[in-house]
Amino acid sequence: MDEYSQEINDLQAQVDAMVEADEDKKLIADLEIQLQILRTIYQQATRLLAEGQSDPDLRQSLVLRGYGDWTLDNVYAYVYETSVDLPTEPQGSFAGEIRDTDFSVLLRANADRNQIGR
């Protein structure tokens, strides 16, 4: 189990314990939203990681963006940092925006812009 899965599992256990102990509902709701966002980022990162295993151009795009080699840590960092900058729809959810984003398209586009600027 990688550190991201462990973090998600630990947070889920904390939420479960808080629910069981009937703790602050608002805090529980906030942690559940955080958990949903972390799960979505992790799903997108692992999806992108798998896609890049057979795509050297995608792996090179990550390097050109300054994230280094094609590892889960570096791909996760790219997805996480890109997610923070996503425009959000007024009626949408942050996790939904992350889920609906094609990070491979963004990675390629950003790498292409970096190449043009050199």
Domain boundaries, the chain: 3-116
Q: Residue 112's pLDDT band (boundaries 50, 70, 90)?
A: low
CA distance 45 to 76: 5
- The pLDDT value recorded for residue 116 is 46
Task: Measure the CA–CA gap between 118 and 8, rounded to whole angstroms.
Answer: 39
Q: Please name the residue that has the structure tokens 């792996």.
A: 59
Angle between helix 25-53 and 72-84 (nearest 10): 120
Please enumerate in sequence order all residues whose Cβ is within 8 A of that of 99, keeping only pairs 6 or more positions apart, or say none. Answer: 40, 43, 44
The pair of structure tokens assigned to 58 is: 């995608």
Q: What is the distance of C-alpha 16 from the center of its chain?
A: 23
Average pLDDT, the chain: 91
Would the CA dihedral through 9, 85, 95, 54 be positive or negative?
Answer: negative
C-alpha distance from residue 94 to each of 20, 62, 88 (Å):
27, 23, 6
Q: Would you say 101 and 43 are in contact if contact means Cβ atoms under 8 Å apart?
A: no
The per-residue pLDDT for range 22-65, each reduced to its tens digit, is 999 999 999 999 999 999 999 999 999 999 999 999 999 999 99
